[in-house]
A and B are shown apart, each in its own frame.
Chain A
Amino acid sequence: MTIPTYHPIETERILAVDPLPRGFAFAVLEEDPFRLVDWGVATTPRKEPLGMLASLDRVIRRYDPSVLVTEEPQSARLLRRAALSAFLESAAEIVLAGSFPIATYSRRAIREAFAPMGARTKLEIARVIAERFPELRSRLPRPRRIWESEDARMSVFDAVSLAITHLAAAGSRLPRDG
């Protein structure tokens, strides 16, 4: 009798990171089934500059991602570009040890990925994400007034949008349910 070969179901697990002045927001998405596995903001005290890397290392060890996605530094504005470059530089060691690639996407690429869903601004993109992942609805910030700085909760939506952009760029079909 010929014994067929079987193998376990495997999925692409995306870790999207949005660097912040003192930490980072992250989102972990799985492609099959399409679901948001974890999300949050890791902040570190000013006195511990290496705390951010330790937190990133913890997230990577826990979720064993197949790819790390972040924003492209070249297309960002000056201060943001410096922060993104610093993040990528300091995270390189951890990423090399983890043997997975880094993918970067510009804000324009994110807008293009969400354009078919009718979302162009960050808030519209966040609304689309909250609609797809109801667990994030409570974190959805109210519309920002012109004199206000961006709500800190928006960074999680930025991380999720990066992960979805990566899936869209990889040609994955983004299911609307489950």
Chain B
Amino acid sequence: MESTVAIPRPTVKGRSPEPSPNQQLKIDVEHLSFFYGDKRALEDISIKIQPNVVTAFIGPSGCGKSTFLRTLNRMNDIIPGARVDGRVCIDGEDIYGSHVDVVAMRRKVGMVFQKSNPFPKSIFENVAYGLRINKMTSSKSELAGRVEESLKQAALWDEVKDRLHESALAMSGGQQQRLCIARALAVKPDILLMDEPASALDPIATQRIEELIYQLKTNFTIVIVTHNMQQAARVSDYTAFFWLGRLVEYERTDKMFTAPSEKLTEDYLTGRFG
């Protein structure tokens, strides 16, 4: 990426705060670069994420935070001309390795998209979809049980339990997004990637999603991309700040929002640009 602004290079790039050697890293990215054709969208990103924490990716539009999120479950594979350099290890295994079963990997790394994308099916069938295609249940009652459990985890059960067989597209925007979360949770992933999950929602629906994220982190490792710095401060344990395809600073959220080590981070957080 080209820029006319002189960008101060971070002194320590992508360092991980307080690495604890005993704990197995959930996500370990080393020297990742990403290209759309000839255009480099991400440059040499390294980041280590531990299990059961919420990590927020922040940065101005076009900084590469969504692109980076999508490299973590190889969702960029379907874009023609996309190319990746470097390693992305999940539970110690490089997901870009040659023997990796991408389909099985994506089951382990769930994703919730910016625009809610329920399938044009019933509420029940939306949640059951992943269970059916992966043949994860052996009986009808088990399937129904898993659907109910997932809808409860997504705090949606009470609102929809009497109309499970109605169309998912008749729900409100906030409900649709929680349905997409339930759908992702149903296949019991380890990691949940969320790409601006609340950007199209009103403040009350947003608050519900944030409460949900807080509850879910006991069972899942969550990575959330957000435009909203207050949201990052509220929901995350760690924050990564991206700028023009680079990872500028990666720090505990409370520290980053009170005493960022990079001048660029401070300028962004205080609203001088972006």
Chain B binds chain A: no
| Contact surface of A with B, Cβ cutoff 8 Å | none
Binding site for A on B (CB under 8 A): none
